[in-house]
Amino acid sequence: MSAVVETQNLTKRYHDKLAVNALNLTVQEGEIFGFLGPNGAGKTTTILMLLGLTEATSGRASVCGFDPTRESLEVKRRVGYLPENPGFYEDISARENLLYMARLNRIPEDEAHRRITEVLEQVGLSDDGRRLVGEFSRGMKQRLGIAEVLVKNPRAVFLDEPTLGIDPDGAIRILELIKGLNRERNLTVMLSSHQLEQVQAICSRIGIIVKGRLIVQGKMDDLGRAILKERQWNFLLEVGSGANGLETELRSINGIDEIEKRAHGLFLRCTRDVRPEVVSLLARKNISLLQLRSEDPTLEEIYLKYFREA
Amino acid sequence: MSVVFWKELADHFSSRRFMILLALIVLIGLWATYASGQAIRQDTENAPTHYVFLFLLTSGTGTVFSLATFLGFFGPLVGITLGFDSISGEYARGTLSRVLSQPIYRDSLINGKFFAGLATVAILWGSILLLVIGLGITLLGFPPNAEELWRMLIFTAVGIFYVGFWLALAMLFSLLFQKTVTAALASMAVWLFMTLFVVIISQAIAGIIVPDPSTPEQMARRADVENIVSRISPSTLFSESVSILLNPAARVFGLALQSQAEGILPTPLELGQSLNLIWPHITTLFGLVAVCFGISYIIFMRAEIRA
């Protein structure tokens, strides 16, 4: 496996504001890398630097083995980029839009037509190819954007917020499409987002960027284990009425670290499996048990933990 | 670059905005030619004996402007129309970052756009001229001679530079402001300033420098100052070069004293001599186009593309 994207201390400064601060990032061939961070964290700026659309203030980057600043044409030949809110020429048809991009990529005309038919089918727009893009819905435009990225047959794609502003069903279709492409073509995908569940669903590795700093990168499982190494046991406890004073009693159980009130019930962070004790406590006090559920660390927790630390 | 060029050219020719402008210019152009053609036919005694075709372009009848004046006034509008949303429009649609993430050099985009605009202008101007020649032959009954043709061709070239300046200016504004409406308004403001206000300002400045034109010398000096000041406007450069180019008898700009005019034979100038008179104008126009486009080019190459 080789690295498709590699950056060393990549930095971008706007006047007195550091947009991206000494970023060290690696994306391996064939993986789906989730680039996470709140709005304005520097995700888009990083992607622009990787494409040579803006110049880094300092540091180095390499994309498919090329320097994006000096050999940006080589990078752009191999990498597809879908910006946030991609725009199209609305007064021409979807096919013509794709054809223009194919021509800019110097793909021979008949080859281009063949590929356009193929990618339109892949994104599920076969029947809409001859329609004007002005008539397209947001989700269709987003899928057309993915089609356009694929026309050049890229090695890697950078997708900036690919599901932003799309209804849940449309978002799922796009994510499945991305996952499918990754599987079938061994396409490397770098995906920026702040929608955590979606990233969790498809990414093999993530990096979290806050205020221009990459605070963590790694496999989902590793990250989860890293932050929860001492507290592997999390439970959600919901009980019926008569739970007064339950919290104090729970605290006396050895192994329960923290008790958090949730909308429904209590969240227990424990150092071991305390379920037998909890159940027997409830039985002693004659409190009815509604649910006692083991909770895995979600990406949201990982994210919030790192986000707060930064 | 050729991909962008052909795409932009196709866009220009299929845009509704361009169609309206084309219809307007062709109709008024034909009307102006027709009116002056009729005037020449009806009053053959006062019509010049030489270069009747050129006279057709430059003579206005009472109510109608001459074609040359008309093109001088509306040419900028064509340039602005073609240029004002060239870059800002791509920003607004969000297509710029997509286009520039394709493997093309950044300058191919701006070059392609500029030359597509220039080509559109050339086609427009050329077709108007052909229409005028056709109409002229019908009205006058004889074709233009070689020198007239040459003068009209050079007139076309100067006209293309002139409109090219406005195109380059509109593109520069569209790059600077990134908002289509602002770019259009800024270009319009410069256009109005250059065509209307420069005349007033040059009169005012001449009035300050030569306050009391009592002698003929001072009157001539005042006219000179006025001319020089108003030459900051490309519109003046264009109209002056056209007045020399399309009127072989003309040999000075503005006023000439009797003593200066003494001994000059009232024969038309050769083409080369007329050209000598307006070389500075043509080179300045060309220079203005180059400077405007150059500034846009530099800004665009260094700009960060964040759509």
> How far off is chain B from A57, nearest CA to CA, in Å?
13
Inform me whether the pLDDT recorded for A115 exceeds 90. yes
Yes or no: say if A50 and A63 are a contact pair by the CB < 8 Å rule: yes
Q: Which amino acid is at A77?
A: R
How high is the pLDDT of residue B185?
Answer: 93
* Domain carrying residue B227: 2-302
In a domain, B254, yes or no: yes
pLDDT bracket for residue B111 (50, 70, 90) = very high
In a domain, B169, yes or no: yes
**With an 8 Å Cβ cutoff, is B16 touching chain A?**
no
Residues A14-66 pLDDT 10s: 888 888 888 898 999 999 999 888 888 888 899 999 998 888 899 999 999 99
Cβ atoms within 10 A of the Cβ of A304, count?
12
Joined together, the tokens standing for residue A1 give 């496996």
pLDDT bracket for residue B294 (50, 70, 90) = very high
Chain B residues lying within 8 Å of A104, measured CB to CB:
3-4, 99, 102-104
Name the residue in chain B with its Cα closest to that of A80: B101
Mean pLDDT computed over every residue of chain A: 85
Residues B16-60 pLDDT 10s: 888 888 888 888 888 888 888 888 888 777 767 777 788 888 776
How many domains in chain B? 1
**Contact criterion met (CB < 8 Å) for B98 and A86:** yes
> How far off is chain B from A277, nearest CA to CA, in Å?
58
Pick the CATH number of A3-225 from 1.20.58.1690, 2.60.40.10, 3.40.50.300, 3.60.20.10: 3.40.50.300
- Across A118-132, A183-197, B160-174, least confident range: A183-197
In a domain, B307, yes or no: no
In a domain, B65, yes or no: yes
For residue A242, the SS3 value is coil
In a domain, B283, yes or no: yes
Q: Which of B105, B304, B307 sits opposite A83 (nearest CB)?
A: B307
**With an 8 Å Cβ cutoff, is A143 touching chain B?**
no
Residue extents of the structural domains in chain A = 3-225, 229-309
Q: Which of B95, B97, B103 sits opposite A53 (nearest CB)?
A: B97
ipTM comes to: 0.80
How high is the pLDDT of residue B256?
Answer: 65
Q: How far apart, in whole angstroms, are the C-alpha atoms of residue B204 and residue B226?
A: 8
Chain B residues lying within 8 Å of A76, measured CB to CB:
101-104
Q: How far apart, in whole angstroms, are the C-alpha atoms of residue A166 and residue A132?
A: 20
How high is the pLDDT of residue B258?
Answer: 67
pLDDT bracket for residue A228 (50, 70, 90) = low
Name the residue in chain A with its Cα closest to that of B99: A101
Q: Which of A48, A85, A105 sits opposite B102 (nearest CB)?
A: A105
How high is the pLDDT of residue B214?
Answer: 81
> How far off is chain B from A168, nearest CA to CA, in Å?
24
pLDDT bracket for residue A107 (50, 70, 90) = very high
Residues A200-216 pLDDT 10s: 778 888 888 888 888 88
Yes or no: say if A31 and A8 are a contact pair by the CB < 8 Å rule: no
In a domain, B186, yes or no: yes
High-pLDDT (> 70) share of chain B, %: 92
**Contact criterion met (CB < 8 Å) for A87 and B101:** no
Inform me whether the pLDDT recorded for A232 exceeds 70. no
* SS3 of chain B: CHHHHHHHHHHHHHCHHHHHHHHHHHHHHHHHHHHHHHHHHHCCCCCCCCCHHHHHHHCCCCCCCCHHHHHHHHHHHHHHHHHCCCCHHHHHHCCHHHHHCCCCCHHHHHHHHHHHHHHHHHHHHHHHHHHHHHHHHHHHCCCCCHHHHHHHHHHHHHHHHHHHHHHHHHHHHHHHHCCHHHHHHHHHHHHHHHHHHHHHHHHHHHHHHCCCCCCHHHHHHHHHHHHHHHCCCHHHHHHHHHHHHCCCCCCCCCCCCHHHHCCCCCCCCCHHHHHHHHHHHHHHHHHHHHHHHHHHHHHHHHCCCCC
Q: Which CATH class is domain A229-309?
A: alpha beta
For residue A80, the SS3 value is strand
- Quick one: average pLDDT of B155-180? 91
pLDDT bracket for residue A226 (50, 70, 90) = low
In a domain, B174, yes or no: yes
* Dihedrals phi, psi of B221, to nearest 5 degrees: -65, -40
Q: Which of A44, A81, A100 sits opposite B101 (nearest CB)?
A: A81
* Neighbouring residues of B197: CB distance < 8 A, sequence distance ≥ 6: none
* Dihedrals phi, psi of A205, to nearest 5 degrees: -140, 150
- Quick one: average pLDDT of A231-244? 76
**With an 8 Å Cβ cutoff, is B307 touching chain A?**
yes
How high is the pLDDT of residue A310?
Answer: 57
